[in-house]
Amino acid sequence: MVSDGTLTPEALAERAKTNGVELWALTDHDEVGGQHRALAAAGAQGLAYLTGTEISVTFAGETVHIVGLGFDPDDAALTQGLLATRGGRKQRAMEMSDSLAKAGIPGAFEGALKFVGNPELISRTHFARFLVEAGVCREPHEVFRKFLTEGKPGYVPHRWASLRNAVGWITGAHGVAVIAHPGRYNFTANEEYALFSEFKEHGGRAVEVVTGSHTRQEFVKYAETAKEFGLAASRGSDFHSPTESRTDLGTLPFLPGDLTPVWELLASRIRQ
Ligand code: AMP
Ligand code: MN
């Protein structure tokens, strides 16, 4: 709601409940402004809730997402850190628009803005919606194959938060930091090893193993990585919208039984 999803917290809570979800976390990008509303919506559905966010980090020249769970959403260092992370998105969006214009697609900034709820949080998803609406691509996944990614029109490299800061903000606010969808990054084996080791050194404690962004082979691969690094495991849909997301809330397989679920580390932070 305050980043790039299309449903309200109330509609998400209802959908989660209907789909049999037992514990829900709303994880807007670089924002915690929807947390109190999500908590109330979960309460109204009788759904257990953990606070959530997904912080954009630059590591080894790539954008990595670090999920935070179970933190205090009013923590000053966390909210200040997220505010700083969001700054620069508008400038980047204008540069993305210039790059698309050079590729023969004018008006992308204004076009993407129409889809933006929170003006601080214009993201590539909003550009993807514009490119679909303009008939340039059929669906968002096609957009990310042809545009907005490294080497393609509309891609603008950006410096997000450091890994150390993102993990520090989350743990400082009494939450648990989680490496989101590691299968999505284009890292060499060495870079991936560095990500996991540095993440642990900074106090990170979990990795997303089962997610809508992973293949079944990646479920197995990252279950092994979790054990190798002594990390707990999380499971998340990465659900953004009924028409754009491949994975609906509550429809993914369970975590492999030999992993420690991240919510075991957060039992005292779950709000009923
Ligand atoms: P940004 O934070 O502006 O870089 O945009 C990140 C958003 O782009 C995320 O919410 C993702 O859902 C979306 N995204 C990034 N890569 C892909 C991809 N390959 N396929 C679909 N969506 C993607
Ligand atoms: Mn993500």
pLDDT at 78: 98
pLDDT at 220: 98
Splitting the chain (272 residues) into consecutive groups of 10 residues, what average pLDDT does each group show?
92 98 98 98 98 98 97 98 95 97 98 94 97 97 97 95 98 98 97 98 98 96 98 97 94 96 98 91
- Residue 141 Cβ inside 6 Å of ligand 1? The answer reads yes
DSSP letter string over 33-89?
A: TTHHHHHHHHHHHT-EE--EEEEEEEETTEEEEEEEES--TT-HHHHHHHHHHHTTH
Written as six digits, the tokens of 173 are: 């606010």
pLDDT at 272: 87
Q: How many CB atoms lie within 10 A of CB 113?
A: 16
**From the CA of 19, how far away is ligand 2's center (Å)?**
22
Would you state the CATH architecture of domain 9-86+159-269? Alpha-Beta Barrel (3.20)
Q: Would you kindly state where each structural domain of the chain is located, as residue ranges?
A: 9-86+159-269, 89-146
Residues 6+ apart with CB under 8 A from 183: 213, 214, 215, 218, 221, 222
pLDDT at 214: 96
DSSP letter string over 11-45?
A: HHHHHHHHTT-SEE----BT--TTHHHHHHHHHHH
**From the CA of 213, how far away is ligand 2's center (Å)?**
8
- Residue 144 Cβ inside 6 Å of ligand 1? The answer reads yes
pLDDT at 163: 98
pLDDT at 200: 98
Distance, CA of 124 to CA of 155 (rounded, Å): 9
- Best substitution site from 124, 130, 137, 238 to test ligand 1's pocket, by max atoms within 8 Å of Cβ? 124
Specify the amino acid at residue 168. G
pLDDT at 1: 61
- Best substitution site from 27, 53, 95, 123 to test ligand 1's pocket, by max atoms within 8 Å of Cβ? 123
Point out the ligand nearest to the CA of residue 140.
1
Q: At the topology level of CATH, where does 89-146 sit?
A: DNA polymerase; domain 1 (1.10.150)
